[in-house]
C-alpha cells in the first residue's frame, strides 16, 4: 500500500502520486476487494471546494484518492513547496485503467454523457484496447428516481471499474450518495472523458498539454466555458497568497 500522504492545496488534500502509482493502487483495490473512490482534482475542482462546503466535505473526507489533474494543481503543489512528480489527468488515468484491465480481465461500466456517447466511447475503447471488457453503458441524463435501476444494472454487470461522467460536482455527489449500494471497486468521476474518447470533443495537442496550456485550448474550443474558467486565475491568486499547511 502506498504511503505517500496527501499534500494540501487550499485546504484540499491531493495525493502526489505518479500515474503508475495510481494505477497500481487502484489495481490493488480490485484485487483485495476494497472500494476506492477517486477524484481527479483540477483547479476548477479545488475552487469549487472553496465555494461549496458539501462538495469540499466529499473531496476531503469521502474520497479515498485525490489526484493532481491539471497543470494548475501540479503548479500549486510545487509552488507551495511540495514534491509533486507529475500530473495525473483524469482522461489519462481512465485510459490507463482500461488498458491495464485488459490483461487482468477487468470489467468496466460507462455511465454518463449525452445519449449514445458512452456507447461511442466504448466502441473507441474496444478499438484502442482489444479485449477490453466494457460490460454496460448508460447515459447521464436521468432522474434521481432512476438511480436504483441504474445501480442494479451496474451491479448485475459485474463491473469492477465504474466510470461516471456527469461533470463535477454531480458525478462525485452521485457516487458518494450511492457508494454503499455499488459493488464496483473503483468509483471514478471523469467529467467529459467519454466525449473526448468518442471524438465528440477534442483534447489539446500534446505540446499544449506539456506547456500547461490545455485550459487555453478548452476555452478556444468551448468559449461558453469562459465564466467557469474564471476560476483558474482566481485559483492562481489564492495559491500565491497562501502558505504550505
Query: Which residue's beta carbon is nearest to the bound ligand UDP?
Result: 140
Asked whether 39 and 66 are in contact (CB, 8 A), the reply is yes
Among residues 27 and 72, whose Cβ is nearest to ligand UDP? Answer: 72
Start-to-end CA span in the chain (Å): 25
Closest distance to ligand UDP from the beta carbon of 47 (Å): 12
Comparing CB distances to ligand UDP, the nearer of 72 and 192 is 192
- Comparison of 30 and 121: residue with beta carbon closer to ligand UDP: 121
Q: How far is the CB of 54 from ligand UDP (least distance, A)?
A: 17
The strand order across the sheet containing 65-68 reads 65-68, 36-41, 186-189, 161-165, 107-112, 133-138
Cα separation, 38 vs 20, in Å, equals 15
Least CB distance to ligand UDP at residue 111 (A): 8
Number of Cβ within a 10 Å radius of residue 221: 13
Q: How far is the CB of 42 from ligand UDP (least distance, A)?
A: 8
Least separation in angstroms between CB 165 and ligand UDP: 5
Which residue's CB is nearer to ligand UDP, number 75 or number 194?
A: 194
Minimum gap (Å) between residue 218 Cβ and ligand UDP:
8
| 72 versus 112: smaller Cβ distance to ligand UDP | 112
Residue (25 or 110) nearer to ligand UDP, CB = 110
Contact present, 107 and 160 (Cβ < 8 Å): yes
Give one DSSP letter per residue of 58-71, joined into a string: IIIII-SEEEE-SH
Nearest to 45 by CA among 175, 169, 213: 169
Residues that bind ligand UDP (CB under 6 A): 112-114, 140-141, 165-168, 170, 191-192, 194-195
Residue 56, CA distances (Å) to 135, 138, 152, 166, 227 in order = 32, 27, 28, 18, 21
Amino acid at each position: 500500500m502506498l504511503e505517500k500522504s496527501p499534500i494540501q492545496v487550499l485546504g484540499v488534500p491531493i495525493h502526489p502520486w505518479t500515474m503508475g502509482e495510481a494505477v497500481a493502487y487502484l489495481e490493488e483495490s480490485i484485487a483485495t476487494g476494497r472500494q476506492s473512490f477517486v477524484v481527479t482534482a483540477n483547479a476548477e475542482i479545488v475552487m469549487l471546494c472553496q465555494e461549496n462546503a458539501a462538495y469540499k466535505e466529499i473531496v476531503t473526507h469521502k474520497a479515498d484518492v485525490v489526484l493532481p489533474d491539471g497543470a494548475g494543481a501540479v503548479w500549486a503543489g510545487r509552488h507551495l513547496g511540495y514534491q509533486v512528480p507529475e500530473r495525473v489527468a483524469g482522461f489519462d488515468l481512465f485510459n490507463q485503467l482500461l488498458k491495464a484491465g485488459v490483461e487482468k480481465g477487468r470489467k468496466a461500466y460507462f455511465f454518463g454523457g449525452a445519449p449514445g456517447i458512452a456507447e461511442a466511447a466504448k466502441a473507441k475503447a474496444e478499438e484502442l484496447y482489444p479485449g477490453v471488457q466494457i460490460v454496460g453503458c448508460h447515459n447521464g441524463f436521468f432522474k434521481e428516481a432512476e438511480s436504483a435501476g441504474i445501480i442494479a444494472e451496474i451491479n448485475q454487470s459485474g463491473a469492477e471499474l465504474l466510470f461516471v461522467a456527469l461533470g463535477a460536482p454531480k458525478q462525485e455527489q452521485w457516487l458518494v450518495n450511492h457508494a454503499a449500494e455499488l459493488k464496483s471497486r473503483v468509483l471514478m468521476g471523469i467529467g467529459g472523458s467519454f466525449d473526448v474518447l468518442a471524438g465528440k470533443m477534442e483534447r489539446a495537442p500534446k505540446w499544449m498539454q506539456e506547456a500547461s496550456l490545455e485550459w487555453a485550448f478548452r476555452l478556444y474550443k468551448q468559449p461558453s466555458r469562459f465564466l467557469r474558467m474564471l476560476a483558474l486565475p482566481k485559483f492562481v491568486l489564492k495559491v500565491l497568497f497562501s502558505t504550505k499547511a
